[in-house]
A and B are shown apart, each in its own frame.
Chain A
Amino acid sequence: GAGVSQSPRYKVAKRGQDVALRCDPISGHVSLFWYQQALGQGPEFLTYFQNEAQLDKSGLPSDRFFAERPEGSVSTLKIQRTQQEDSAVYLCASSLYRLAEGGTQYFGPGTRLLVL
């Protein structure tokens, strides 16, 4: 079946520009996660949705980062006034179960963001 998809796969932005990254989770998955992966490092948690509710946004690095999942399926991660340090791969993952149930997270291919 279809996995997690993300778009765009690559994004080049000028410093100060706003960007929007899209995630289509596996159909029916309750939980959705966003991660940031810097070059040569492991993914780091950004935010978590259970259906349409954003239950944890403790990993968002600044108030320039904003995420939403208004209908409990597709999610968008928005970065305002991008900075060079925002350059990274942004990974989306979804899980069939709520976080507390410990389900496996399935990852999308990521969006590679380069801020010039």
Chain B
Amino acid sequence: EPEVTQTPSHQVTQMGQEVILRCVPISNHLYFYWYRQILGQKVEFLVSFYNNEISEKSEIFDDQFSVERPDGSNFTLKIRSTKLEDSAMYFCASSPHYEQYFGPGTRLTVT
């Protein structure tokens, strides 16, 4: 059964550094999403992406965040200058229509 994959599984970075989180959505899906979950808290929407452009973004998704679909398979989330409060689990999801299927997540630790 096709799955969403994410790399790396765990990323440790220093405050102020740039990180790129990578996702490979399920191949025939059209909608892509990034969510984050700070430890012990609810899952929060960051951004949705359709037809090679952002369709919706949350207040969290400020200028330090960007997304890209550089080729036909990858979907990336870039954080330009990481802050301590960016430490969280980042989930990628993809959807053929209304159901969203999540990847295993990338645990980002900012020190």
Partners in one complex: no
Q: Which residues of B contact A (CB under 8 A)?
A: none
Q: Which residues of A contact B (CB under 8 A)?
A: none
